[in-house]
Amino acid sequence: MGSISKHTLQRLPTYLAYLKSLPCADNACISAAAIAAALELGEVQVRKDLSAVGSAGKPRIGYPVNDLIQHLEYFLGYSTRNRAVLVGVGNLGLALLSYGGFADYGLDIVGAFDSNPALIGLQIDGRPVLSMDELPTFCQRENVQIGILAVPSAAAQPCCDALIAGGVRAVWNFAPVHLKAPDGVLIQRENMASSLALLSYHLKQPERN
């Protein structure tokens, strides 16, 4: 409950996406074994994960798909809106800003920041691009809870500090650096360099999986 494991939490969106991809017959049920097979997980793991969020199945029948979807969406807070700002309107930042899909996960990007004067004053899909100076004030005034960092490595720590000064308690960091933050602030790094390391290491291996 309060003590749900990080690994379990990370698998939940995958369960949800899979369940939503299913042809939706009302009242349909699915077994843990079927979910496990589709996602190539252990079936005990699926049952444990689902029971950790409080979903119950029925012996001999399985889990009601629609209930499960609702339960997972509720647990993951996809209907609770989280307000975010994006810092760094470069290639990646612009893509994250323009990509509409995060709204499905409860994430609303309400503003963007950049140090480039040529960008300041623009509106991107209705969100203003503002100067870095305004960041802490904006975050406080607009009740921003999440900061998305898509700035160069060297700028990442100062930008992170500015976000925290603005009261942000969760930072999604796309820069390939480790950031420091006080207790109570979560830094979640999207570590693309690590992903690439796994891919390239795999290719170096003679014939392993």
Contacting positions for DNA (CB under 7 A): 5-8, 31-33, 41-45, 47-48, 50-51, 55-63
| Per CB under 8 A, 9 contacts its own copies | yes
The CB density around residue 171, as the number of other CB atoms within 10 Å, is 23
Applying CB under 8 A, among 1, 25, 118, 180 the residue interacting with its own copies is 180
Choose the contact partner of 99 out of its own copies, DNA, none; CB within 5 to 8 A by kind. its own copies
User: For DNA, which is the closer residue by CB, 34 or 92?
Assistant: 34
The three-class DSSP label of residue 117 is: coil
Burial code (b: 16+ CB inside 10 Å, e: under 16) for 133-160 equals ebbbebbeeeebbbbbbbbeeebbbebb
Long-range contacts of 195-202 (CB under 8 A, 24+ apart): none
| Backbone Cα Rg of the chain | 20
- How distant, in Å, are the alpha carbons of 20, 153, 161 from that of 106? 16, 27, 24
| Least distance (Å) between residue 190 CB and its own copies | 6
Applying CB under 8 A, among 5, 54, 105, 158 the residue interacting with its own copies is 105
Of 12, 115, 7, 30, whose CA–CA distance to 71 is shortest?
Answer: 12
Looking at residues 116 to 175 of the shown chain, list those that interact with its own copies (rule: CB under 8 A).
145-146, 153-154, 169-170, 172
How many chain residues touch its own copies (CB under 8 A)? Answer: 65
| Least distance (Å) between residue 51 CB and DNA | 5
| Per CB under 8 A, 13 contacts its own copies | yes
| Per CB under 8 A, 86 contacts its own copies | no
The two structure tokens encoding residue 75: 């647990």
Of 79, 95, 73, 72, whose CA–CA distance to 148 is shortest?
Answer: 95
Applying CB under 8 A, among 24, 95, 122, 165 the residue interacting with its own copies is 95
Of 146, 154, 147, 198, whose CA–CA distance to 176 is shortest?
Answer: 154
Residue ranges that bind its own copies, judged by CB under 8 A = 2, 4, 6, 9-14, 17-18, 21, 38-40, 76-77, 80, 82, 90-92, 94-96, 98-99, 102, 105-107, 145-146, 153-154, 169-170, 172, 176-178, 180, 183-184, 186, 188, 190-205, 207-209
